[in-house]
Amino acid sequence: MSIAGVVLAAGASTRLGRPKQTLQIHHEPLVSRAVRVALEAGFTPVIVVLRDNDLIDTVRRQGALALLNRKSYEGMASSIHCGVSAAQRLNASGVVVMTCDQPGVTADHLRALTADPTAITGSGYAGRIGVPAHFPAASFDSLLALEGDTGAREVLRGAKSILNEALDLDIDTEEDFRRAQALFEV
């Protein structure tokens, strides 16, 4: 049974005004950091969904599969479709969907999400359940039915969760980036 890591990195970074995927913490681009943590967690394959060609070589050098989402303008659901479809074609028993902009994610947390490989399990922070989240293959159809920019929120409703308040920091603004640098570059 292989659980694929699906790193969502195709966002336009409109609030930030520059590509967040390339922002660096400890001289490591956020997308590379996410791939590294997913690999450390033991996910195979690690699939990175990108907006353009700029980062393909970067993630491939790390051993990840790079996919271009030509419909990224449609919202996060289109990136989830890309990653989950690829994992399905590769006969993955499940996926852990994660974003590239949560520097607080750890390999231990990602592994904890997959402790029950038959359960949908999300990350608990800020009073909600979100990504990173594990979805067994039985839930792939629900993920592939998502539309727009809401992500997997509905699929996670009522799911088990593993608490990790560090995941509440996702980098959407320059202020978020400064906070992440202060927390993770010490």
Write the DSSP string, 73-99.
Answer: GG-HHHHHHHHHHHHHHTT-SEEEEEE
Q: What local confidence, expressed as pLDDT, does residue 150 receive?
A: 80
First to last CA, the chain: 38
Domain of 135, in residue numbers:
3-184
Q: How many domains does the chain have?
A: 1
pLDDT at position 186, please? 65
Q: What is the DSSP letter of 45?
A: S
pLDDT per residue rounded down to tens, the chain (186 residues): 799 999 999 998 889 989 999 999 989 999 999 999 999 999 999 999 999 888 999 999 999 999 999 999 999 999 999 999 999 999 999 999 999 999 999 999 999 999 999 999 999 999 999 999 999 999 999 999 999 988 899 999 999 999 999 999 999 999 999 999 999 876
pTM of the model: 0.96
**Sequence-ordered strand ranges (E) for 10-54:** 24-25, 28-29, 46-50
Using an 8 Å Cβ cutoff, are 98 and 25 in contact? no
CATH of residue 164: 3.90.550.10
Give the SS3 label for residue 136: strand
Indicate the pairing of strand 94-99 with strand 3-9. parallel
C-beta of residue 74 within 8 angstroms of C-beta of residue 148:
yes
Gap between the Cα atoms of 97 and 111, Å rounded: 12
| Cβ-based neighbours of 3, under 8 Å, separated by 6 or more | 42, 43, 44, 92, 93, 94, 95, 96, 114, 117, 134
